[in-house]
Amino acid sequence: MLFKFMRKAVDNIMNQITSQLKSVQDQVESPVKNLVSVITGGAWVGTDADAMANEIATKVVPMVADLLAAIGGMHTGISQAAQLIENTDTKAHGVVDELVGVFGSIF
């Protein structure tokens, strides 16, 4: 099949996307959530602390979740595209093999 030579490159890209997803989770999502816990845990008190914790919880955390979903969506989309290419390649091979058989029986 023609696509097999590209499969290793696609798998490498998929691994990089997975790594980026983990990196965003480890370096962004967890610290942001921990910051809310620190603020609400008494490290900072008052209306400004409440407002900051609310801003982080209602705006920043959902944006980080959207970023994670977008990265995960790329992974899914690339997987689906690779599978479509492989299926199409297999079907094309089948058609070519049939044509070769037909022409082989004629000549």
Nearest C-alpha neighbor of 65 from the set 19, 29, 18, 101: 29
Helix (H) or strand (E) holding 9: helix 4-24
Q: Could you list the residue range(s) of the whole structural domain that residue 54 is in?
A: 4-106
**3: pLDDT confidence band, cut at 50, 70 and 90?**
low
CATH number (domain holding residue 43): 1.10.287
How many structural domains comprise the chain? 1
Write 1-8 long-range contacts (CB < 8 A, 24+): 1/86, 1/89, 1/90, 1/93, 2/89, 3/82, 3/85, 3/86, 3/89, 6/85, 7/82, 7/86
Q: What's the pTM?
A: 0.69
Please write the tens of the pLDDT for every residue from 36-77: 889 989 889 999 999 999 999 999 999 999 999 999 899 899
- The pLDDT assigned to 104 comes to 83
Q: Is 44 helix (H, G, I), strand (E, B) or coil?
A: coil
